[in-house]
Amino acid sequence: MERSDEKVKVVGTWSSQFVMRARIALNIKSVSYEFHQERLWEGKSELLLRSNPAQKKVPVLIHGGKPICESFNIVEYVDEVWSSAPSILPSDPKERATARFLAAYLDEKWFPSMRTVGYPQGEDARKAAIAQLEKGLVLLEEAFVNYSKGKSFFGGDQIGYLDIAFGSYLGWLRVAEKMSEIKLLSEAKTPRLLQWADSFSSHAAVKDVMPDTEKLADFGVRAKILKATATPKL
Which x/- pattern, by CB under 8 A, does the window 70-89 give for other proteins? x--xx-xx--xx--------
Torsion angle, alpha carbons of 123, 124, 130, 132, to 10:
-160
The string over 183-217, giving b where at least 16 C-beta atoms fall within 10 Å of a residue's C-beta and e elsewhere, is ebbeeeebebbbebbeebeebebbeebbbebeebb
With binding defined as CB under 8 A, does residue 146 bind other proteins? Answer: no
Among positions 120-139, residues that touch other proteins (CB under 8 A) are: 139
Rg, C-alpha atoms of the chain: 18
DSSP-derived 3-state class of residue 96: helix
Q: Which is nearer to other proteins, 89 or 179 (CB)?
A: 89
Shorter beta-carbon distance to other proteins: residue 56 or 207: 56
Does residue 115 bind other proteins (CB under 8 A)?
no
Is there binding between residue 141 and other proteins (CB under 8 A)?
Answer: no
Residues 6+ apart with CB under 8 A from 234: none
- What b/e string do you get for 112-150 counting C-beta neighbours within 10 Å, with b at 16 or more? ebbbbbbbbeeeeebeebbebbeebbeebbebbeebbee
Pairing of strands 8-12, 34-37: parallel
- 59 preceded by a cis bond (ω within 30 of 0): yes
Q: Which of 49, 97, 145, 204 binds other proteins (CB under 8 A)?
A: 97
Question: Is 96 near other proteins (CB under 8 A)?
Answer: yes
Size of the site for other proteins (CB under 8 A): 24
DSSP 3: G
Least distance to other proteins, CB of residue 55, Å: 8
**Binding range to other proteins, per CB under 8 A, among 15-23, 100-108, 167-175, 215-223:** 100-108
Q: Considering the rule CB under 8 A, would residue 68 count as an interface residue with other proteins? A: yes
Nearer to other proteins among residue 39 and residue 233 (C-beta):
233
**Scanning residues 153 to 182, which ones bind other proteins (CB under 8 A)?**
none
Interacting residue ranges for other proteins, rule: CB under 8 A: 3, 54-55, 63, 66, 68-70, 73-74, 76-77, 80-81, 93-94, 96-97, 100-101, 104-105, 109, 139
